[in-house]
Amino acid sequence: MASGRWTVLSALIAFVHALTAQELKPIIRIEGVKEELRRNIQAHLSLLNEDCTSPNWRLKDAMTSSESEIRQALRALGYYRPSIRSKFQFTPPCWQAEFTIESGVRVMLAQVDVQVLGEAANDPEFQALLAQLPLKSSDPLDHGRYEDLKSRLTNLAEQRGFFDARLVKHELIVDPSQNLAWIRLHLDSGRRYTIGKIDLLQEVLNPEFVRRYFPFEPGDPYTSTQLTKTYQILADSGYFEDVEVRALRDQLADFQIPIRIRLLARKRHFFKAGAGFDTNTGPRVLLGYENRRLNPYGHRLDLQARFSPVRSELNGQYVIPWQKPAEETLSFQTGYLHEETDTLRTDSAALGARFLHLRRTIQETLGLDLRYESSRFHDADVQGVLLLIPSVQWGYVKADDRLRPKRGFKSDISLKGGVSLLGNPVRFFQAQGYVKGVYQFPWLGRVLSRLEAGATFTDHFVNLPASFRFLAGGDTSLRGYGYKRLGPKNRKGEVVGGRYLGVASLEYEQLFLRNWGASLFVDAGNAFMTWDEPIQVGAGLGIRWYSPVGPLRLDLAVPVTKARFELRVHVSMGAEL
């Protein structure tokens, strides 16, 4: 019985001893070098893989190899003649190692000779690389940067279709006695390959229509960038569930490379339903139906209905892809809108057409609408008017992420005019602009700025329908004030809208968890009849939650320019840009 207890106690002591030994760590000191060299030495030093329980024979082998490993690490950064002193000792309960290093003089590059031979010598991408080489004479030697330059040359050749390219000379010559090195890299590109046969595998759309999405055709010079662009265009088209774009390297022939594009169609019919809430419109319900391909030429139909206590609408859109379907569409719209706020009530029906196309990076939309609107401000008489409205709009967005940008910029400019065909006589011209920017600091703080301005020129402002008058206030305008409750007032003190709009916003947001942030903001502006009217200011703080479907914003804001304290809650959701 006693021996059994001693056996259990001995086992327990051995276990605790082993556990304690595993928790201990050896001390390895590397002295005499800068941080960059120390990190590279640590990456090469096998002794760092040992611990206090390592057997003596393995520690001895690692210590024996340490000097050559340190020399290799220093040589990689151009230090060929170092002095190394090492010391190893075992002091219970663990061992210690110390390395004192004098790195010596660093080798410098005496010459960097990089040449591109063959067709690639006239290629603009290779010319740009040669004009901005990452290595030049008098730079310190760095073997990693030399290998990176070799990789950049060969990778660029692959990306640009020079599949037979090879480095006919790749030399790094080092003379440690002079502390000098010479680099010679000569790439013979050979002949550039072109796009060969394009094999399109899909079953739902007209093949010639699908080919209009391709940014290349047989005979064009090959670039991998064009294949990536093709994949993105087809994935964004809305027609396909799965996209595969492959260059068939195993079928190279006659300096041509075949391309295979395999497409799996999305479901033709799509129904959607949703619910949400914001403090502009209150609770809302969305119902929709989309036919993604009415015919083999990609025509689409989109029907939507939105209902809320403040704003309800029914919309239909028929979309026809144009000559460049990734950039150009012709669409016809019809819709009905009912909006009722504390300041106005309006009902309108519209029939219109839009032509959307790209001007380089700017999206331009040309529109023509026939619109009937019946509107009333408070107890004023109902105004009914039929308007013909031509318009043009330019939009630009650049962001690293549309839902959660670290850096981004968005701008929209629209011009529209109108003339009444029936009802109260009115003619007008309206210009409106919107700019928003996002910038993130290294400490995960972001600054968001917004500016919105508009102006209306009309001969009968009193006859101008409500939807064309400027009003301010609400979640996306001036927080701290109700939705469309700011603007010029009539003699009874009722808001009736203005000719001009000016709103500015500045916000600082700090991320404090992976998907949560807090913000401080100030909004200023108003809708005006003349620019010398008073500006309203709202300010507050908010909470942000970055959900998988987009950011959700909760803001608490107060109207700074009001004499009486009022706290208003704003809830909104949607992409930042």
Q: What is the pLDDT of residue 70?
A: 92
Side-chain half-sphere exposure of 173, counting CA atoms within 13 A: 11
Q: What is the pLDDT of residue 310?
A: 86
DSSP designation for 266: P
Is the CA virtual torsion 322, 324, 325, 326 positive or negative? Answer: negative
DSSP letter string, 551-563: EEEEEEEEETTSS
Which residue in this structure is represented by tokens 């500016």? 451
Question: CA–CA separation, 274 vs 276, rounded Å?
Answer: 7
Cα 56 versus chain centre, distance: 54
Q: What is the pLDDT of residue 280?
A: 74
**What's the token pair of residue 232?**
């993105």
Q: What is the pLDDT of residue 184?
A: 96
**Which helix (H) or strand (E) element contains residue 37?**
helix 35-44
Q: What is the pLDDT of residue 23?
A: 58
C-beta separation of 482 from 474 below 8 A: yes
Question: CA–CA separation, 361 vs 348, rounded Å?
Answer: 33
Going by their DSSP bridges, the two strands 166-175 and 180-188 should be labelled as antiparallel
DSSP letter string, 110-163: EEEEEEEESGGGG-HHHHHHHHT-S--TTSBP-HHHHHHHHHHHHHHHHHTT-T
Which residue in this structure is represented by tokens 């914001």? 278
66 Cβ contact partners less than 8 Å away, ≥ 6 residues apart = 45, 46, 47, 86, 97, 99
Q: What is the pLDDT of residue 21?
A: 43
**Which helix (H) or strand (E) element contains residue 418?**
strand 407-423
**Which helix (H) or strand (E) element contains residue 84?**
strand 83-91
Burial 173-197 (b: 16+ CB within 10 A, else e): ebeeeebebebebbbbbbebbbbbe
Which residue in this structure is represented by tokens 């108003």? 526
Average pLDDT per block of 10 residues along the chain, 577 residues long: 45 44 76 91 90 88 90 93 90 88 93 94 94 91 94 95 94 93 95 95 94 93 94 94 94 94 95 82 89 95 93 95 94 93 84 94 95 77 84 94 87 95 92 95 92 94 89 91 88 86 95 90 94 90 87 91 84 81
Angle in degrees, CA 469, 470, 474, rounded to 5: 130
C-beta separation of 544 from 520 below 8 A: no
Q: Which amino acid is at 35?
A: E
C-beta separation of 146 from 172 below 8 A: yes
C-beta separation of 172 from 114 below 8 A: no
How many helices (H) and strands (E) would you count in the chain? 7, 25
Closest by Cα among 312, 318, 285, 284 to 299: 318
Question: CA–CA separation, 51 vs 49, rounded Å?
Answer: 7
**What's the token pair of residue 484?**
């469309």
284 Cβ contact partners less than 8 Å away, ≥ 6 residues apart = 275, 276, 277, 278, 306, 307, 308, 311
C-beta separation of 509 from 544 below 8 A: yes
Torsion of CA 32, 35, 36, 39, to 10 degrees: 90
Torsion of CA 152, 155, 159, 162, to 10 degrees: 110
Q: Do domains 23-102 and 314-573 have the same CATH topology?
A: no
Closest by Cα among 79, 139, 96, 90 to 114: 139
Question: CA–CA separation, 402 vs 90, rounded Å?
Answer: 58
**Residue 505: is it exposed, middle or buried by C-beta count within 10 angstroms (0-12/13-18/19+)?**
buried
Question: CA–CA separation, 73 vs 508, rounded Å?
Answer: 45
* CATH 3.40.50.300 corresponds to the domain 194-265: no
Question: CA–CA separation, 418 vs 147, rounded Å?
Answer: 65
230 Cβ contact partners less than 8 Å away, ≥ 6 residues apart = 213, 214, 215, 216, 245, 261
Q: What is the pTM of this model?
A: 0.78
Write down the domain spans for the chain.
23-102, 108-188, 194-265, 314-573
Strands (E), 159-299: 166-175, 180-188, 194-201, 240-247, 256-265, 269-278, 282-291
* CATH 2.40.160.50 corresponds to the domain 314-573: yes
Fold type of domain 108-188 = Ubiquitin-like (UB roll) (3.10.20)
CATH number for region 23-102: 3.10.20.310
